[in-house]
Structure 1
Amino acid sequence: MHIPPLDPNVAARKGFRESEERLKRFWTAVDVAKGEGGWSVTLDGRTPKTPAGAKLTLPTESLARLVADEWAAQGEFIEPGTMPATRLASTAIDRVSQVREAVADEIAAFAGTDLLCYLAETPTSLAVEQAREWTPWRDWAALDLGVVLEPVEGIIHRAQDPAAVARVRELALRLDDFALSGLAMATPLLGSAVLALALQRGAVGGEAAFELSRLDEAFQERQWGVDAEAAERTAARRAEAVLLDMWFRALES
């Protein structure tokens, strides 16, 4: 999903700012506080800011605490790579809020080439597994979302009904900036607008959604084994899916 990137490489007393130096942790106490516009993360009573200078304020207490936990977990030096919820919150506030239509367009485009619609021609065992695991989710999309997608065997593109693609766009635009940001991250991660919407709605968990998205990859691993580098990449992607599950659930409470 192409959203102008926000990478809070470092944080400073007045919020995020770019620097080539590693910054030391500058706070002791981390908490959340309810105020105008929602719940803010506080560092020694002060609210950090996003890269664009907005206050790091979230719509629910649970989501604010999810972000605050990342700040609390920092050691002597700030490690931005360990703060995915903070990055996603900043993206929602600074970027997605400004480009909602474009983000929804990209999510909808994935519905036109949704992973769950492309079944393997061979081997038969993989095709059977895909049909068994993916058909219920296409059915769920049709019944629960009004998104009817047609499967095809092989990798040759098959255009989907424009009404189905338009429906996904409509569903995306119904979300607030924070849920839309999560959906924008989940869709390319899973290769599927259907799985991303199922995750956002709580119909499937993060780890289960991720495993559904990598049936072909898992099949190849069973045949040929897994090297350490591939395993590391898979673990990182799985962690993203789990984080997104936490993100969506925190938005509900």
Structure 2
Amino acid sequence: MSDWKAKRFWKEAQVVPRDGGHTVELDGRPIKTPAKQLLVLPTAKMAEAIAAEWQAQDGVINPLTMPCTKTANAAIDKVAVQHSEVANMLAAYGDCDLLCYRADSPQELVARQNALWDPMLDWAEDALGARLQPRTGIMHVPQNPEVCARLTRRTHALDHFELAAFHDLVSLSGSLILGFAAAMNAREMESLWDMSRLDEIWQAELWGKDDDAEALAAAKKGSFLHAKLMFDLSKGEELGN
């Protein structure tokens, strides 16, 4: 296996306006994606975040310290060329949404799920025009097709940068509704993340925390918060605004 690693060769990473958005240039040379597409970004704020990642590289380039660049590359190289497929895959979460599958016991867990998840289903009805129905147990019971179609149309309406970020909001939480709630600032991100982990939190309270599970959950939470950042940056906003 080769030990060769790309090294920093530029002095300055700079945001440059371009038709259709902004790009980042390294000493005047535009950055390209792994698929050799020009890295054209929808907002100046996203371009600034990516330029900061490149400017922060010291010596050997470390892709792990460049999450905004990674997500933007995915939006251009992957989501843009299969937008419909990605949107359909995410919209399908609505038919088996985490928030709809409830425990039948113990009563304390049932009450906690009802208290935290019911308001989100109410929110979805008001904000998205989509009322999902809860079920008891883990067996799949289809939702109303008209409701699912409404959620599918909303998902398809996202542009490819929004959809790239939305992918992680949904897949990491296991919930299309929580993904939309995060994107639309319906609740604090910490609260939404805890809602997605309600069952795991309950188990930890009951049996004690597992260090490996907690470390994995922390990494996923970081990715969830990053997805929100990228969704906001795609609209020219900052995290939490």
TM-score by length of 2: 0.92
1:126-174, Cα deviation, whole Å (9 max, x unpaired): 1111111111111111111011100012112111011111111100111
Any stretches of 5+ residues in structure 2 without a counterpart? 237-241
Q: Which residue of 2 aligns with 1:213?
A: 196
Any stretches of 5+ residues in structure 1 without a counterpart? 1-18
Q: Tell me the C-alpha RMSD between the 2 structures.
A: 1.6
SS of the aligned residue for 2:22 comes to strand
Partners of 1:65 and 1:205 lie apart in 2 by: 25
SS of the aligned residue for 1:147 comes to coil
Is 2:139 the partner of 1:139?
no
Aligned residues: 235
Partners of 1:30 and 1:117 lie apart in 2 by: 46
Partners of 2:164 and 2:188 lie apart in 1 by: 18
Percent of pairs with identical residues: 39
Q: Which residue of 2 aligns with 1:72?
A: 55
Is 2:222 the partner of 1:244?
no
Is 2:68 the partner of 1:85?
yes
Is 2:98 the partner of 1:115?
yes
Code of the aligned partner of 2:42: P
Q: Which residue of 1 aligns with 2:239?
A: none
Partners of 2:31 and 2:188 lie apart in 1 by: 31
| Deviation at residue 68 of structure 1 after TM alignment | 2.1
Code of the aligned partner of 2:31: P
SS of the aligned residue for 1:33 comes to strand
Partners of 1:195 and 1:106 lie apart in 2 by: 16
Tell me, yes or no, if the aligned pair for 2:204 and 2:210 is still in contact at 8 Å. no
Q: Which residue of 2 aligns with 1:7?
A: none
- Superposed structure 1 runs of 4+ greater than 4 Å apart: none
Q: Which residue of 1 aligns with 2:27?
A: 44
Code of the aligned partner of 2:189: G
Bigger CA drift: 228-237 or 24-33? 24-33
Partners of 1:61 and 1:215 lie apart in 2 by: 37
Bigger CA drift: 217-226 or 72-81? 72-81
| Deviation at residue 225 of structure 1 after TM alignment | 2.1
2:133 pairs with 139, 142, 150, which one?
150
Partners of 1:21 and 1:39 lie apart in 2 by: 31
Partners of 2:99 and 2:200 lie apart in 1 by: 14
TM-score by length of 1: 0.88
